Structure 1
Amino acid sequence: MTTNKEDYLRLDSMVCFSLHAASRAFDSVYRVVLKELGLTYPQYLAMLVLWEHRELSVKQLGAHLRLDSGTLSPLLKRLEATGLVRRERSTADERSVTVRLTDEGAALRERALAVPRRIYDATGIGLDELQDLHARLNRLTTALDSAVLDE
């Protein structure tokens, strides 16, 4: 990154754009890899959380994914239409909807086990460097979340 004040507004000096470009590149690789599973990247992320927790409220799932219910609901509707999840309104609180894996959704996890390795191989980055990047991005996210909360 440059230290010349005049260069601060150059696109190629913006960390946010580097993250955006990397995210789009990841999306492209995931699109190819996840095609075999019949999932989009956002659906894959939802499935990762459900494979870990088996069952969550839509609100809890949204918190894990950093998505609001307006974005999450259509995604879950498509996963339900493919038979991977089931949504059920809570009997205790009709405003709450629970999402749980179906047997088919749980079984898809086995086929998904190869995905992380394929993505890792596509990065061309060593494991230590990738883990360091992951840790730094988590610290950046925490700092940015705190900056928003301070306002």
Structure 2
Amino acid sequence: MGSIVEIDEIDDKILHLLIEDARTSLKDIGKKCGISSVSVLNRIRRLKKTGVIAGATLFASINTFGFQIVASIGMETESGANVEEILKYFKEHTYLIEPAVSIGKYDLCALIYAENITNLNERIETVRRLSGIRKVVVIVWSGIPYLNFEKINLTPEK
């Protein structure tokens, strides 16, 4: 795990403004933070250099592409299973999102998208048949998730 980077209230405000709309101009951010656009640029460069800003990501509305179902899957692996091979398989199949090793009841977890229940069931059965997978638990979400990071406090209490 990397070292903790301390940020001040202005950095926090810059980050939240970018989270809200990554296309906000440096000038507008500067006005809202009470600093110059050059200062905003320097702060963003520092936040990138320290790893606080790792890049910009586009979040597409997945249901506009015909994916009406999203589910979380938790997987228990068999003793001695090659977890790296399982993860490699997952990363090669586009219907699995963010496959990862997890801590707790399940050894692996991922999000899975599908067009309908039949399609979801086919994909889950494919996962169940993988070598090294002992058990798969599926939690179907009632709606497509919206990732909202605006309310996260980035400056921890001291």
Output the TM-score relative to the length of structure 2. 0.31
| More contact order relative to length (CA 8 Å, sep ≥ 6) | 2
Output the TM-score relative to the length of structure 1. 0.32
